[in-house]
């Protein structure tokens, strides 16, 4: 399982209700059900992935998070998870608002555009970065609103969204990000995981 999923799983208490937005083939949901006895539901846009979830006996709704989050009642989940997709929405702010409405807490992970390899690609080679976390070229990337961990940090403060915890993930390790180490972690983390309330 992806390191990012392990970090997310560690942030979650046992026996709760979780909505995984953009749940893919359901590997995170399966893990949460098995390890934490979590009641997990998914929302997924890709038909093939929806079927994979159904075959595994997972509860998944085929749909687009950009337009179909309204179907979930307010505070109907303990946690809502959105893994590395916020940047792909036309209106990420609206989606985030909806997530905060549906969940008592929200976990959001973002691919960090402030990661040093991304920065050097642009600085030294003058080219849009292509990395493991950002595998697409500029012309076929689904990412419309790339941001850095620092950007998202500032965004939450500006919008008065309560940041409970931030974890930075890179190849070697995971570490907590605080205001005091934000500059350095923003340089060395590939992915940032935010726990919001």
Partner 1 sequence: MSEKIKRLNISKSILLDCKQTVKDFSLAYETYGKLNKDKDNAILVFHALTGDQYVSGTNPITNKDGWWVTAVGPGKAIDTNKYFVICANVIGGCMGSWGPKEINKKTNEPYGLNFPVITIKDMVKAQETLLDHLGIKKLLCATGGSMGGMQLLQFCATFPNRTFSAVPIACSTNHSAQNIALNELARQAIMADPVWEKGKYYKKNIQPKNGLAVARMVGHISYLSEKGMQEKFGRKLQEKADYEFSFDADFQVESYLRHQGFAFVERFDANSILYITRAMDYFDLSKQFKGGLVEAFKNQKTKFLVISFSSDWLYTTKENKDTVIALNSAGADVSFAEIKTDKGHDSFLVNEPEFLKTLKGFIDSMHIKFKNRKNEKRI
Tell the smallest beta-carbon distance from residue 28 to partner 1 (Å): 16
Tell the smallest beta-carbon distance from residue 57 to partner 1 (Å): 3
Give the residues lining the site for partner 1 (CB under 8 A): 41, 47, 50-51, 53-63, 71-73, 76
Nearer to partner 1, 19 or 169 (CB): 19
At residue 110, what are phi and psi to the nearest 5 degrees? -130, 140
Owner of token pair 């973002």: 110
The whole-angstrom separation of Cα 113 and Cα 36 is: 32
Three-point CA angle 92, 134, 25, nearest 5°: 75
Tell the smallest beta-carbon distance from residue 20 to partner 1 (Å): 13
Strands (E), the chain: 17-21, 39-44, 59-62, 77-83, 103-111, 163-169, 174-176, 191-196
Nearer to partner 1, 33 or 134 (CB): 33
Nearer to partner 1, 62 or 151 (CB): 62
Nearer to partner 1, 72 or 113 (CB): 72
Tell the smallest beta-carbon distance from residue 29 to partner 1 (Å): 12
Four-residue CA torsion sign, 22, 45, 132, 130: negative
Helix (H) or strand (E) holding 95: helix 92-102
Nearer to partner 1, 102 or 147 (CB): 102
The whole-angstrom separation of Cα 62 and Cα 153 is: 31
Nearer to partner 1, 63 or 129 (CB): 63
Tell the smallest beta-carbon distance from residue 139 to partner 1 (Å): 26
Tell the smallest beta-carbon distance from residue 94 to partner 1 (Å): 19
* Number of Cβ atoms within 10 Å of the Cβ of 87: 18
């Amino acid at each position: 399982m992806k390191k990012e999923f392990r970090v997310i799983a560690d942030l979650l208490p046992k026996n709760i209700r979780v909505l995984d937005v953009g749940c893919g083939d359901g590997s995170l949901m399966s893990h949460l059900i098995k390890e934490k006895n979590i009641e997990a539901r998914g929302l997924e846009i890709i038909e093939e992935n929806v079927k994979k979830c159904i075959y595994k006996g997972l509860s998944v709704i085929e749909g687009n998070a950009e337009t179909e989050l309204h179907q979930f009642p307010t505070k109907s989940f303990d946690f809502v998870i959105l893994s590395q997709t916020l940047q792909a929405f036309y209106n990420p702010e609206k989606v985030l608002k909806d997530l905060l409405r549906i969940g008592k807490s929200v976990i959001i992970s973002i691919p960090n555009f402030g990661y040093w390899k991304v920065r050097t690609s642009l600085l030294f080679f003058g080219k849009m970065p292509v990395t493991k976390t950002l595998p697409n070229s500029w012309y076929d990337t689904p990412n419309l609103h790339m941001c850095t961990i620092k950007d998202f940090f500032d965004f939450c403060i500006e919008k008065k969204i309560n940041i409970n915890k931030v974890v930075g993930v890179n190849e070697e390790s995971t570490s907590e990000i605080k205001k005091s180490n934000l500059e350095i972690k923003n340089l060395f983390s590939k992915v940032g995981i935010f726990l919001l309330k």
